A and B are shown apart, each in its own frame.
Chain A
């Protein structure tokens, strides 16, 4: 795994992927997530980077450490993640989306039409 083209650190990238997997239920609440070693081998990254990714999730209250056992998903983590992602949805998706629409000269009504068409 190499750094993302936008220069985003790898450990954030990895933390996001694990969070994605928790969000969709691949790692259920109170089950174990991959260890530092497993992550570093899988993504071929330095174990320190993998450790940073897990620590990031610990700081965010998504996973917690059980001594001698590993990292486990916090009860309620999927809900917390969903709430957080909803809050960020406007900034991360809606605004850039509207900005691109404006560059292309689309009106709000036209954009909404496109969305409705795609939904069907």
Chain B
């Protein structure tokens, strides 16, 4: 059974949200406040203007970017205690995305709430977040503060033997080769004497961006997934 008290504190509008075909943007934005005691028409007006949403256009005729802009407008204007944004930038150009990020943090700073934003544009959105949760096939593989997550991995590059020396006892996520050079993404933070050791072994150390980290985790899990059929065969 659904709990109306709890549900009215949630907003979950997606880019592929279906609206009534007969409704125009104006109709939708006129009725949305009925669902949210916290609705801010000021925010809605500002966002529709900044995104240049065509008020008279029927929902069916909106472009992908316009649908995203409408979803973002509803989500931010709702000021719902729990706001879900599921890849809200689809079809938005770079400047509209900048507007979105700006409005998101601005609204959040003035009216704090829980915003759950799912995204594949990780580096672009990382600075907006406080906490990161990385899911792999529905399982949580990482849940931590965004700063810790950004320091959650690093990349070692150099000649293979020397790289192996440094990463010997560490959690290796991915390895890539370029000629005689090996580039390894390692999970975990750098140790105190790593910089000295790297200098000695003529290795380059780089911190991986959150995006690199997530990509490495993903490749790691895909590589493991391809091993799986073997284990299944053994089991049968």
Contact = CB atoms under 8 A, between A and B. Distances in A.
Answer whether A and B touch in the complex at a CB cut-off of 8 Å.
Answer: yes
Interface string A33-62: 000110011011111111000000000000
Interface string B141-152: 000001100110
A3 interface: yes
Interface stretch (A4-12, A23-31, A79-87): A4-12
B105 A2 contact: no
Nearest to B129: A46
Contacts of B210: 3
B150 A40 contact: no
Interface in B122-141: 123-124, 126-130
B222 interface: no
A9 B210 CA distance: 12
Given A3-B209, A46-B130, A41 B146 contact: no
A117 B27 CA distance: 70
A6 B146 contact: no
A7 B150 contact: yes
A36 B109 contact: yes
Given A2-B209, A3-B210, A7-B150, A37 B109 contact: yes
A85 B108 CA distance: 35
B161 interface: no
A94 interface: no
B36 interface: no
B146 A46 contact: yes
Contacts of B129: 46
Given A5-B207, A6-B207, A41 B109 contact: yes
A47 to B, nearest CB: 4
Interface of B: 98, 101-102, 105-106, 108-110, 112, 123-124, 126-130, 146-147, 150-151, 154, 206-207, 209-210
Closest 6 CB pairs of A and B: A7-B207, A37-B109, A47-B109, A44-B101, A41-B106, A45-B127
